[in-house]
Amino acid sequence: MDDADRKIIEALLADARVSLKDLAAHAGLSSPGVSERVRRLQERGIIRGFTVDIDPKVLGYSLQAIVRIRPLPGKLHIVQQMIQEIPEFCECDKVTGEDCFIARLAVPSIEQLDGILDKIADKAETSTSIVKSQPIRRRPPPLVVRQNEE
């Protein structure tokens, strides 16, 4: 990935709907050149997609929670499928350690949260933390891999 690719990605991170003309101007390339680079970035898996950032609160999901989930013996795949099928689970990571999953839920109320957790209670142990704020929103890693600074 060179500087032009980084400029393209930076511009797309700021606004995924930026026009090719504006993207080309930002990267210092022609529109066809930028189009080809974006296509190659997608083919290489660097750009996985273009998305919309939605504020859950505006949609009525005033409560977010982080849930650590430890499936009971033999229930890992069942719990994973349940998490995938419950739309209020916005994110989920399969992790090492005592818990198998760390998931983020968006719900309108504590009652709704309880109802969702009750669905998996007979298949997993959970530990829930309510999100008070999000000082760092989901963001990509730096576009340049930093070498060990010694």
pLDDT tens, residue order, the chain (150 aa): 899 999 999 999 999 999 999 999 999 999 999 999 999 999 999 999 998 888 999 999 999 999 999 999 999 999 999 999 999 999 999 999 999 999 999 999 999 999 999 999 999 999 999 999 999 988 888 887 666 655
What is the β-pairing status of strands 89-94 and 124-130?
Answer: unpaired
Structural domains in the chain plus CATH codes: 3-43 (1.10.10.10), 56-130 (3.30.70.920)
Residue 10 phi/psi, 5-degree rounding, is: -60, -45
